[in-house]
Amino acid sequence: MSTVDLTGQVALVTGGAGGIGAAAVRRLAKLGARVAVLDLNAAGAQRIASEVGGIAIAGDVVDPATMPAVVKQVEGDLGRLDVVHLNAGIGGGQAGVDDALDVERYRKLVGVNVDHVVYGVCAAVPALRRQGGGKIVITASLAGLAAMPADPLYTLTKHAVVGYARAAGKALEADGITVTALCPGFVDTLLLGAAKEEFHAVSFPLLTPDDIAEALQTVLGEGAAGEAWIIQPGGQASAYRFRGVPGVAGRTPPDVVLGRA
């Protein structure tokens, strides 16, 4: 695990009132950061923020106005922003492969898992640029790297997040802003719901929120632009090695496509 010193820095965690988010808040505070905790659950956010001497902000990450307002508040109250952990997420809760699609639930899923990440990055980048750079870590999932037939819609959102992190990471690298994705396996949180008993029944090991917080620390210390880091029970967090796709022999795409224009 990397040695990381965040003394004097400010971090923001979305979905910070419980599970992975709460563990991340505690870890960032332990590393020296002052932490802003954003969650729809105002009481939960206040509880965790009080525990670490941070600030609590209640808000719905699906609302496009939330992340810009939160970043403005963090800079106003804490003076700066250096680390952003876009962690808020929900499960699909439906197959999404037949005509029984609940469109409202689907839009909520995409709003939390995808839109909030885009809103968060766009809101945070100007603040990070003001500090000469910073770190953005997005909680994705192994479902962003491999198909999860039990929840195709969740798989869709996490594939989107991984792709966005890979491209945004390269787009922002020159600004000194490192964007990475965390791709944990199954974590013992409320998101598992009733499936948790099925994991226990077959003695399948689950990650803990603290495992993800430890991986977050490693990524903050070692993560490179656009990487996706895998975390599985009993192993060390590591960057996933994408195979890439065949290119055009002897040809390089124009700079405008590669983000160098």
Domain residue limits, the chain: 10-258
**CATH number of this structure's domain 10-258:** 3.40.50.720
The residue annotated as part of the active site, out of 106, 119, 154, 164, is: 154
| pLDDT tens track for 200-213 | 777 678 889 999 99
Task: Tell me the whole-structure pTM to 2 decimals.
Answer: 0.92
- Give the three-class secondary structure for 253: coil
Q: Return the DSSP state at 31.
A: T
Please confirm, yes or no, whether 154 is among the known catalytic residues.
yes
Q: How many CB atoms lie within 10 A of CB 87?
A: 29
> Residue type at 231?
I
Burial of 33 (C-beta count, 10 Å sphere; 0-12/13-18/19+)? buried
* pLDDT tens per residue, range 94-125: 889 988 999 999 999 999 999 999 999 999 99
Token reading at 228? 């996706």
Share of the chain above pLDDT 70, in %: 93
